Amino acid sequence: MPLSGPEALSMAYGVNHYRVDKPLRDVLRHYLGREPGFDPLGEYAGRDLYEVAYRVDRLSPPVHIMYDVRGERVDLSWLDPAERRVVRDLMLEYKVNSFPFNGGSWHEHYAGINLVGDPGVACILTITIQTAYALWKYGPEEVRDYYKNLAGLEEPLMLGATWFTEIQGGSDLGANTTRAEPSNGKWILNGYKYFASGAGIADIALATARPPDSRPGAKGLALFVVPRLREDGSLNYYVRRLKEKSGTVAVPTGEVEFIDTEAYLVGEKEKGIYYTLEDLMVSRLSNAAGAVGIQRKAYLEAFGYATYRRAFGKRLIEHQLVKRDLLEMEVLTEESLVITHKAIDLFEKATGDRPPYSPQYHYARLMTHIAKNITAENAARVTMLAMELFGGIGFLRDYMIERWHREALITPIWEGTSNIQALDMLEAIARKNAHLPLLEDMKALASQAYDKETANKAYEAMAKTLEDLARMPPSTAEYNAKYILDDLGHSASVILLEELASSTGDERYHWVAKIILDYVLARKPIGHPGEDKLMEIVTLGGTLRA
User: Which one of 97, 115, 150 terminates a domain?
Assistant: 150
Q: How many domains does the chain have?
A: 3
The tens digit of pLDDT for each residue in 126-136 reads: 999 999 999 99
Q: Is 67 a domain residue?
A: no
Whether residue 251 is found in the same domain as residue 352: no
Q: Is 72 a domain residue?
A: no
Closest by Cα among 162, 159, 137, 136 to 149? 159
Q: What is the pLDDT of residue 70?
A: 95
Q: Using the CB atoms, write b or e for 523-538: b if 16+ within 10 Å.
A: eeeeeebeeeebbbbb
Q: Is 495 a domain residue?
A: yes
Whether residue 279 is found in the same domain as residue 391: yes
Q: What is the pLDDT of residue 519?
A: 86
Residue 370 sits at φ, ψ, to 5 deg, of -65, -50
Q: Is 71 a domain residue?
A: no
Q: What is the pLDDT of residue 22?
A: 98
What are the 10-residue block averages of pLDDT along the chain, 546 residues in total?
Answer: 70 96 98 97 98 96 97 97 98 98 97 98 98 98 97 98 94 94 95 98 98 95 98 96 96 98 97 98 98 98 96 96 97 98 98 97 98 98 97 92 96 95 97 98 98 98 98 98 97 98 97 93 82 96 94
User: Which one of 127, 150, 173 terminates a domain?
Assistant: 150
Whether residue 435 is found in the same domain as residue 317: yes
Closest by Cα among 330, 337, 334, 301 to 535? 330
Whether residue 267 is found in the same domain as residue 278: no
Judge contact between 415 and 287, C-beta under 8 A: yes
Residue 394 sits at φ, ψ, to 5 deg, of -65, -15
Q: Is 69 a domain residue?
A: no
Q: What is the pLDDT of residue 9?
A: 84
Residue 472: give its domain's CATH number. 1.20.140.10
Rounded to whole angstroms, how far apart are CA atoms 303 and 281?
Answer: 33
- Cα 244 to Cα 75, 161, 250, 317, 465, distances in angstroms: 17, 19, 11, 38, 41
Whether residue 56 is found in the same domain as residue 204: no
Whether residue 249 is found in the same domain as residue 285: no
Cα torsion 392, 396, 400, 401: sign: positive
Q: Is 70 a domain residue?
A: no
Residues 6+ apart with CB under 8 A from 40: 94
Whether residue 318 is found in the same domain as residue 350: yes
Q: Is 203 a domain residue?
A: yes
Phi-psi region of 154 (alpha: psi -120 to 50; beta: other; left: phi over 0): beta
Judge contact between 270 and 213, C-beta under 8 A: no
Whether residue 170 is found in the same domain as residue 223: yes
Rounded to whole angstroms, how far apart are CA atoms 6 and 398?
Answer: 11
Residue 396 lies in domain: 274-538
Residue 129 sits at φ, ψ, to 5 deg, of -75, -30
Burial of 520 (0-12, 13-18, 19+ CB in 10 A): buried
73-78 and 160-163: which strand pairing? Answer: unpaired
Whether residue 186 is found in the same domain as residue 306: no
Whether residue 234 is found in the same domain as residue 296: no
Whether residue 519 is found in the same domain as residue 389: yes
Q: Is 466 a domain residue?
A: yes
Q: What is the pLDDT of residue 347?
A: 98
Residue 197: give its domain's CATH number. 2.40.110.20
User: Which one of 103, 131, 150 terminates a domain?
Assistant: 150
Whether residue 533 is found in the same domain as residue 452: yes
The tens digit of pLDDT for each residue in 224-275 reads: 999 999 999 999 999 999 999 999 999 999 999 999 999 999 999 999 999 9
